[in-house]
Amino acid sequence: MHTPRIVEILQQGQPGTNVLINGWIRTKRELKDFTFLEVNDGSCLSNLQVILESGLPDYTNLVKQLTLGAAVGIKGELVASPGKEQKIELKATAIEIYGASNPETYPLQKKRHSFEFLRTMGHLRTRTNSLGAVMRVRNACANAIHQFFQSRGFLWIHTPIITANDCEGAGELFTVTSLDLNNLPKTENHQEVDYSQDFFGRHAYLTVSGQLQAEVMACTFSQVYTFGPTFRAENSNTSRHLAEFWMVEPEMAFCDLLGNQDLAEAFLKHIFKTVLEQCLEDLEFFNQRIDQTVLATAENIINNQFERITYTEAIALLAKAGRKFEYPVDWGVDLQSEHERYLAEELFKKPVIVTDYPANIKAFYMRLNDDLQTVAAMDVLAPKIGEIIGGSQREERLEVLERRIQAQGMSPEELWWYLDLRRYGTVPHAGFGLGFERLVQFMTGMGNIRDVIPFPRTPLSAEF
Ligand code: 4AD
Ligand code: MG
């Protein structure tokens, strides 16, 4: 017997067809001569309505066992639905209960739950409409990302998760060790842990970014991208920070800051366009239930050019915003989330690419501009989210790069292999990193980043 997914039935199921469907019961409604079930298998937001007639063998006993959350296989015939809600429904002829679910204790009773509560039910929360829709949109985004790069001939490369470098130089690293934490080997002066005795013979970390290795690969394959997990031990308990998040990092040889901006803009447009086509039902749900600007935002991204301004222009715009920000807006200090959101959300009402930040507040690898004060950096700022992409043209000049590394108190010796790229066939090159969860947040309108990743990792929280 044909075993279609529910999405298939709802889109193209023909009355008169016999099918077997598998899924979990979302609701049950008992009437005098019938029982209605709503069954969901995760393939789409909508449930399939199933009708059980009281003439079915062992009807009363069966209906008692068909409870919220139970896993079932239902055979029957598709029939045109007299109801307005759906075109097609399933008239059951036989039901198998794979796994019962005690309705007294099932944690997801049929009522609206807060996202905070659902976070305590990480193993069940994707069975709700909103978290289910998030995961489908997340999947569609990932697929659209690969499609975008693959169609342009970029090589997908796999950068290491364990690394010895702090790419961003921000000191937000998780240590990876196999040393006995209760009996740590110490250096001769007994002051510090002796990592030369550790597994890798040196202090190793979880990566904060695959960029440095992506640059290596771009200097062979010209156009590459990474898409993998990254880790930051930054103790920021905000709605936009995770300790473990996924990052997409394209890196292009023979490319400057302008080409980098063009790619970032085309990239976001492609993702929104694709996901809007593939996940319309889910996005309509978000638009209705979570944030009424979701669909308009998608159209806005697809149809309008992003604004492009320099950091210096951004500071001037903030200075004349006619409002008091919590953090100061002086040339030389980094933009805070409130500044980013003002620019994208209120002033331009669309994504803004800010370029050419002060050298002092940006990472060592960014290319020094001719003014010697700023670097060829770019951040893409999105309404509601703030920074969604961070990137730059890279410093390809050996001496300048060595000076920048030293100025930031880092050691050129440790980065000898990175510097070698500037010794042997150096090229202008550029790239960026997209925070994947911030993208999903932006697309769905979900308020908290913890609700757009299946199993969030944040300070004091790593259950499930
Ligand atoms: O701006 P970031 O730190 O840039 C880099 O790591 C570069 N090496 C990327 C590159 O040029 N290849 O991080 C990139 C993006 C940010 O714009 C943000 O969207 C996201 O990663 N991000 C986070 N997302 C969730 N939780 C966090 N703690 C994040 N930190 C950064
Ligand atoms: Mg950044």
Domain boundaries, the chain: 6-99, 126-162+222-451
DSSP 181: T
pLDDT at 329: 93
**Nearest C-alpha neighbor of 148 from the set 250, 238, 26:** 250
Q: Are 174 and 205 in contact (CB under 8 A)?
A: yes
Nearest atom (ligand 1) to Cα of 380: 17
Query: How are beta strands 429-435 and 204-206 bridged, if at all?
Result: unpaired
Nearest atom (ligand 1) to Cα of 379: 17
Q: Which residues pair with 357 in a beta bridge?
A: 375
Nearest atom (ligand 1) to Cα of 208: 6
Q: Are 68 and 26 in contact (CB under 8 A)?
A: yes
Q: Are 385 and 441 in contact (CB under 8 A)?
A: yes
Please give the span between the terminal C-alpha atoms of the chain, in angstroms, as a whole number.
37
Ligand nearest to the CA of 168: 1
pLDDT at 112: 86
Which residue's CA lies nearest to atom 4 of ligand 1? 390
Which residue's CA lies nearest to atom 23 of ligand 1? 435
Query: How are beta strands 34-40 and 48-53 bridged, if at all?
Result: antiparallel
Alpha-carbon distance values, 118 to 71, 129, 288, 432, 457 (Å): 20, 12, 20, 33, 15
Ligand 1 cavity residues, CB under 6 Å: 167-168, 209, 211, 232, 234, 241-242, 245, 247, 249, 387-391, 431-433, 435, 437-438
**Nearest C-alpha neighbor of 421 from the set 248, 266, 209, 251:** 251
Residue 382 CB partners (closer than 8 Å, separation 6+): 344, 351, 388, 438, 442
Q: Where are the beta strands (DSSP E) in 319-359?
A: 352-358
Residue 238 and residue 125: Cα distance in Å, rounded? 21
Alpha-carbon distance values, 289 to 48, 57, 282, 294, 441 (Å): 21, 40, 10, 10, 14
Q: Which of 249, 438, 461 to mutate to test the pocket of ligand 1 (most atoms within 8 A of CB)?
A: 438
Q: Which residues pair with 186 in a beta bridge?
A: 193
Handedness of CA 357, 358, 362, 366 (dihedral sign): positive
pLDDT at 109: 85
Q: What is the dihedral of CA 446, 447, 450, 454, to 10 degrees?
A: -10
Could you list the pLDDT tens digit for every one of the 464 residues in the chain?
789 999 999 999 999 999 999 999 999 999 999 999 999 999 999 999 999 999 999 999 999 999 999 999 999 999 999 888 889 999 999 999 999 999 999 999 878 899 999 999 999 999 999 999 999 999 999 999 999 999 999 999 999 999 998 888 888 999 999 999 999 999 988 789 999 999 999 999 999 999 999 999 999 999 999 999 999 998 888 999 999 999 999 999 999 999 999 999 999 999 999 999 999 999 999 999 999 999 999 999 999 999 999 999 999 999 999 889 999 999 999 999 999 999 999 999 999 999 999 999 999 999 999 999 999 999 999 999 999 999 999 999 999 999 999 999 999 999 999 999 999 999 999 999 999 999 999 999 999 999 999 999 999 999 99
| Ligand 1 mean position, distance from CA 13 (Å) | 44
| Ligand 1 mean position, distance from CA 383 (Å) | 17
| Ligand 2 mean position, distance from CA 429 (Å) | 18
Ligand nearest to the CA of 169: 1
Query: How are beta strands 175-176 and 204-206 bridged, if at all?
Result: antiparallel
pLDDT at 2: 86
Phi/psi of residue 109, nearest 5 degrees: -65, 160
Which CATH superfamily, name and number, covers 126-162+222-451?
Answer: Bira Bifunctional Protein; Domain 2 (3.30.930.10)
**In terms of CATH architecture, what is 6-99?**
Beta Barrel (2.40)
Q: Which residues pair with 224 in a beta bridge?
A: 155, 251
The structure tokens listed for 208 are 């904060």
Look at the chain and count its residues: 464
